[in-house]
Structure 1
Amino acid sequence: MAGKPERSGKTLLRSAEHLATVVRGGCDVVWSLVLFNGWVFAMSWSGVFRAPFSEDASSLVLHGLWLTSLLVCTATLLVFLGLPGRWRTLRRAGVHLGTGCMAASAVLAALSHGFAPWGAALFVASALASGVGTGIMSAYWGRVITRYDVSTVMQFVAVGLAGAALVTLAVALVPPVAAHGLMVVLPLLLARSFVRAVGAEGFDGEAVGPAVKPADRAAAAERGRAVGGEAGEKTTVKPPVSKHLTLFLALAVVLGVSAGLLRELMDADVTLVQRAVVFGAATLGAAVMLLGSRVPSEGESFALFYRAIAFIAGAFIILTVVVQQAAYQSALALGLHTMGFMYFYGLMWVFCVLYAQQAADPMRVFVAGFFANQAGQIVGAWAGGGVQAFLGSASFMATASNAMIYVLLFAVIVLMAKLSAPVAMGMQEEDKPPTSLASEAGMALGCARATERFGLTPREAEILPCLVRGYDRGYIAEMLVVSPETVKSHTRHIYEKLGVHTRVELFNAVAACLGE
């Protein structure tokens, strides 16, 4: 019995440390998440980007900006996936291009309502600019958020979702002129905060991490030979991507389909203001759920998705049972689905980071998760629009809802089979050795092996876990009661001994030691 209070005390202490990181070292990251997600959510749910067409137009036309932006964003992510590594680097000019496109999208959307002859062309241009901007920034997040450990990312994303929900409500409830002005200002603020968030590591092509002199590079090469490598070769071995990544990407597609499909089902039943209010409240609820969730690990990770699937399935059950809906019933279905989907959206950030940090190419794995989810939304929206053209509204709603319920049931069965596999083999989760740095045991083991392999001093061994977790220099100095210059000096020595230059490379080096 005495062990439980002790474990609870350690859990609370770790949570306090992570919260301190959010406040001290991650303010710019959190603020960037609020601004980025707030802009994207407001574009889709606030009603500010209404099409300058007749309300009698088809739902796909009325959703033109959202769907076109989603298509272009997904295509942009696909381009990032296919580019060589040197073309996917994080550039200051790229950040300004992405946020500039987002701001231009808001300007063009506002102008589309004021210039009737050019309304359609301006609206399409707004959608294209939005897709390019959000696609670039989504890809760049893969180079920034992966610097932090998974538990810190979960808190970052939860706070970011809560703030983004408030931004969406603010944009939806203020007068249209003020709303368009906010949508122009938000990307400009995002550019400033994102650049500040990247500043600790630097942009590619600029000074990134501690400077390494030629003599130090030679020493690193010599250490590489000492551990079995050849001169001039990197001493870090990147671990393979988790075998669970494919299942995660498939689930991202399925829940993306549910979001696109629900947008078609709910179009005629919920007003724009009602949709934004329900969306904001449900997203706040999802943020609270995310804060109360355990940090995922390799073995138990997929159990977290049951909550999201349960909420989404509940929404479609309501739509199936109540075909002739009253307004509150539509809002209830929308709220349930939104809470489940936004909870999954938050987990998607967390799991993209988890799998990216295990991969040789973190940015590509991170982008793949967002690509899968957005591709699913496109499939859901187009499938809903196509089926609705052949069926009546009532028949379409019942048919589509039942089909989605069966798909979600199949997803649950697959997840249950995946989670029960270790038990069926006679293995207990706690008996399995740590396979990633997401858990405290994995972090401790990986850092211990790296300390032994690269001959770190006791002080360097003390600082290494802090660097892997993403803590900044000031916070490490305060935690260890040393000067920031002392931390800087030890950090430089750690980078030299491991033969790395960035936090991502450092994380991969420690993860490689864990995988040995």
Structure 2
Amino acid sequence: MAHSAPPRVYQARCAIIGFGCNQAFLFTMLYLGSYNEGPERGFLVDRADLLCVLMSMAVTFALMMRPGPRARLMVAAERLAVCFAAPLTLALFALVAVQALHPNVPWLALAVAEGVVAGVPLALLLCLWGRVLGQAPIDQSVPEVFIGSALGAAVCFFVVAVPIQGVYVVLYALPLVSGWALRSLGAVTPQSADDPAAPSPSPATEAAPSDEAVKLSGRIVAGTAVYGMATGAVEALAASAAFSAYASLSVTFLLFVLYCIAALQLYGGRPLSSGVRAVLPAGPDQEVGPLGGAYRLAVLLMGGGFVAVPLLASVGVSGVAVVLAGYLGIFTVLVSLFLIMGRITGRGAVRSFARGFSALFAGEIAGMLAGGVVSGLPGTFDAAAALVAFAGVAALYAYLFLFTERDMAALSVVVAQSDRFQEACERIATRAKLSKREAEILPLALRGRTAERIAGEFFISKNTVDTHLRRIYGKCGVHTRQELIDLGEREEREL
């Protein structure tokens, strides 16, 4: 039985609530709780739990970039969504019970177990969210990412504010809501729900990547890796700093919520309204759109944290908390950019999420390890100052030389071209009364994809593709692929 598309308002609500809970769970696993709470024993020992989660996620995302493992992992992701991600929640509560009942279990064994139990499903859920959000228009999905992230941070803030040790474990139940939202939004296809071993079809791609799109996506990934390194260095500083972790995290989450509110103001009073542009400039005198302004604001917040590290320490507030709030802002912008990468390169949001997050978390791991080495240097060397300087220079380099505001302006042009091509495809499909599958094949045919490649995209035979193409030619009143391409180009010129 085919699933009808959920109404736009219902889709937006489910996406915000579900993605917000997924973000809150991600923040919980990265920043709240530790199996080694107590006196400082050295950098690698203190941050082993975070490193284990990051490594598990980075490896999973790296595997997602290969076609064979990606198909199997997406089947596992859909299985997880089918059961509302309940196995993940139960496994984490089981680890908490083991720690409570057997306090002598080595903390490193628990940290490694948590890294595998939480890191792999987290990566799978993020890829599913990439697929769901990638199916919505960019102008709708980008504000949903910001609103959902603000909701997740607000949940973490209120939990952190509760003066009860270990209360954060209640957030381990959040994957249940994330899984419910994924099922409500159709992340699990009817075929995969009935037969989880069957490969899920790849979503149709809107366009083959242009040279400019490939170059911009490469710069986004490079900047992502460097931002990850800067954040890893800050994590190393946080592990060695003498301040209350919970007090600092409450500042981080509060500042991040305020950042999201400020970023959403760039979209106007109703960011999810029809006609609101999320990427393109709103007026002729603007160089970048709302997402570009959000990027600038996040870098400013992160840079302000670097400057304020020595100043805020004197009043009992950690500048690291401000830096991490800026990083969470950049993280939210990057999620939006990964969605756009999937659109403009024609490779889909799942692959762009895998590529982007693997670079981000690999960079964060490298930054943490480098920070651990710096912190362990002997003598009177000021490790904290060195880490702040390294992280600040890395973030500044990424902003000024890797993915700059000029690149953001160029990205707006590429997105406009992609949107125009998509609109042209929709006009042709509507006028010719193409079927759903024919409408999915049309963009690939217009970009010159071979029948063999189209068959690989949809896991169907070449003969089936040839049949669909003949029907498309007949309904559009053309006889060859070149005539179909000419028709598409005429539609784009008219738009």
What do the CA deviations read for 1:327-346 (whole angstroms, capped 9, x no partner)?
5342xx23431332122111
Aligned to 2:279: 296
Where do 1:132-151 residues align within 5 Å? 132-151=120-139
Q: Structure 2: which amino acid aligns with 1:339?
A: A
Aligned to 2:299: 309
Kindly indicate whether the alpha-carbon contact (under 8 Å) linking 2:301 and 2:323 is maintained by their aligned counterparts in 1: yes
Kindly indicate whether the alpha-carbon contact (under 8 Å) linking 1:312 and 1:337 is maintained by their aligned counterparts in 2: yes
Aligned to 1:71: 55
* Residue 183 (structure 1) aligned to one of 171, 189, 200: 171
SS where residue 34 of structure 2 aligns?
A: coil
> Structure 2 length normalisation: TM-score?
0.71
Q: Does 1:377 align with 2:364?
A: yes
Q: Share of identical aligned residues, percent?
A: 17
Aligned to 1:36: 22
SS where residue 243 of structure 2 aligns?
A: coil
Aligned to 2:158: 170
Kindly indicate whether the alpha-carbon contact (under 8 Å) linking 2:128 and 2:182 is maintained by their aligned counterparts in 1: no
Q: Residues 206, 171 of structure 1: CA spacing in aligned structure 2 closer, same or farther, 3 A cutoff?
A: same
Q: Deviation of residue 254 (structure 1)?
A: 1.4
Q: Deviation of residue 204 (structure 1)?
A: 5.7
More displaced stretch, 282-291 vs 68-77 = 282-291
Where do 1:91-102 residues align within 5 Å? 92-95=78-81, 96=83, 100-102=87-89
Q: Does 1:281 align with 2:226?
A: no
What do the CA deviations read for 1:144-197 (whole angstroms, capped 9, x no partner)?
1101112211221121112111221233234346532x1332222322222112
Q: Residues 99, 157 of structure 1: CA spacing in aligned structure 2 closer, same or farther, 3 A cutoff?
A: farther
CA distance in 2, matches of 1:154, 1:421: 15
SS where residue 344 of structure 2 aligns?
A: coil
**Structure 1 unaligned residues grouped into runs of 5+:** 1-19, 208-233, 423-428, 469-495, 500-508
Q: Residues 417, 155 of structure 1: CA spacing in aligned structure 2 closer, same or farther, 3 A cutoff?
A: closer
* Residue 322 (structure 2) aligned to one of 336, 340, 352: 336
SS where residue 361 of structure 1 aligns?
A: coil
Where do 1:430-509 residues align within 5 Å? 435-436=414-415, 439=416, 443=419, 446-448=422-424, 450-452=426-428, 455-456=431-432
SS where residue 455 of structure 1 aligns?
A: helix
CA distance in 2, matches of 1:30, 1:300: 25
Q: Deviation of residue 314 (structure 1)?
A: 2.2
CA distance in 2, matches of 1:239, 1:124: 41
Q: Deviation of residue 53 (structure 1)?
A: 5.5
Aligned to 1:220: none
Aligned to 1:226: none
Q: Does 1:251 align with 2:211?
A: no
CA distance in 1, matches of 2:204, 2:232: 45
Q: CA RMSD for the aligned pairs?
A: 3.9
SS where residue 26 of structure 1 aligns?
A: helix
* Residue 157 (structure 1) aligned to one of 142, 145, 149: 145
Q: Deviation of residue 128 (structure 1)?
A: 1.9
What do the CA deviations read for 1:110-161 (whole angstroms, capped 9, x no partner)?
5324412324333431222111121211222221110111221122112111
Q: Residues 515, 69 of structure 1: CA spacing in aligned structure 2 closer, same or farther, 3 A cutoff?
A: farther
Q: Does 1:405 align with 2:385?
A: no
Kindly indicate whether the alpha-carbon contact (under 8 Å) linking 1:102 and 1:134 is maintained by their aligned counterparts in 2: no
CA distance in 1, matches of 2:473, 2:288: 31
Q: Deviation of residue 433 (structure 1)?
A: 10
What do the CA deviations read for 1:391-426 (whole angstroms, capped 9, x no partner)?
56861111222223333333333258772899xxxx
CA distance in 2, matches of 1:361, 1:64: 34
Q: Residues 498, 343 of structure 1: CA spacing in aligned structure 2 closer, same or farther, 3 A cutoff?
A: farther
Q: Residues 297, 273 of structure 1: CA spacing in aligned structure 2 closer, same or farther, 3 A cutoff?
A: same
* Residue 42 (structure 2) aligned to one of 51, 55, 58: 58
CA distance in 2, matches of 1:449, 1:35: 35
Kindly indicate whether the alpha-carbon contact (under 8 Å) linking 1:33 and 1:160 is maintained by their aligned counterparts in 2: yes
Q: Does 1:318 align with 2:308?
A: yes
CA distance in 2, matches of 1:61, 1:382: 12
CA distance in 2, matches of 1:421, 1:177: 42
Q: Deviation of residue 372 (structure 1)?
A: 1.3
Q: Structure 2: which amino acid aligns with 1:87?
A: R
> Structure 1 length normalisation: TM-score?
0.69
Paired residues in the alignment total 408
Q: Deviation of residue 81 (structure 1)?
A: 1.3
Aligned to 2:353: 366
Q: Structure 2: which amino acid aligns with 1:315?
A: G
Q: Deviation of residue 206 (structure 1)?
A: 5.7
Q: Deviation of residue 452 (structure 1)?
A: 4.1
CA distance in 2, matches of 1:143, 1:376: 24
More displaced stretch, 247-256 vs 108-117 = 108-117
